[in-house]
Amino acid sequence: MKKIIVFASGSGSNAENIIKHFAKTKIAKVVSVFTNNASAKVIERAKNHQIPVEIFSKTELLERNLLQKIQEIDPDLIVLAGFLLKFPDHIIEQYPHKIINIHPALLPNYGGKGMYGMHIHRAIVNNKEKETGISIHYVNEHYDEGGIIFQKNVLLTEEDTPETVAEKIHELEQKYFPEIISRLLEG
């Protein structure tokens, strides 16, 4: 069975969705959740599923000791699910094409530093975009610039608000993220 590590910084709804999805398969298992936020709801969600949690600081992320903990687990895939820090080059170099991220917009639009969550949804509504979506991509040394693995769009209306856009994006994330992870691990 393949091993997945999930990195998350916030509520962890995508992380929990991935945990639940793979608990029902023989493909893979989420073996650990890593977070940089000691008060993140993802900690509680992971513990509810008996998944070990590793809490670390930004400094620890940049140092080699976190890489050592990852290497001890020897994951087949590292999944960033609402992880807000830039992933360090020394970890990316050790796991080429084995680190993926989900972004709540159709990259390359609305990507880059500071573009996450409601910041993106507000910008999309303010710019009167006709559609938005999700992008699942490989992680490289630049924010949101790794190779695109999968994109799915959703149409918007003039009545959409940042909050309704967030709901539409969340539905896409919940449906497609575990499915794409499965495809990558089976491929």
pLDDT tens across 122-152, in order?
999 999 999 999 999 999 999 999 999 999 9
Q: Is 13 annotated as a binding residue?
A: yes
Q: From CA 70, how far away is CA 139, in angstroms rounded?
A: 16
Respond yes or no: is residue 103 known to be catalytic. Answer: yes
Residue 38 CB: number of other CB atoms within 10 A?
10
Give me the pLDDT at residue 187, please. 79
The per-residue DSSP string of 45-67 comes to HHHHTT--EEE--HHHHHSHHHH
Q: Over the chain, what is the mean pLDDT?
A: 96
Residue 156 has pLDDT above 90, yes or no: yes
Q: From CA 95, how far away is CA 98, in angstroms rounded?
A: 5
Give me the pLDDT at residue 32, please. 98
Cα atoms found within 13 Å of the Cα of residue 28, Cβ hemisphere only: 26
pTM higher than 0.75: yes
Residue tagged active-site, from 21, 103, 121, 137 = 103
Give me the pLDDT at residue 33, please. 98
Give me the pLDDT at residue 65, please. 85
- Given pLDDT bands bounded at 50, 70 and 90, which one contains residue 95? very high
pLDDT in tens, 53-86: 999 999 999 988 899 999 999 999 999 999 989 9
Q: Which residue has the tokens 């140092």?
A: 63
In the chain, the domains with their CATH numbers are 2-186 (3.40.50.170)
What is the rounded average pLDDT of the residues 13-40?
97
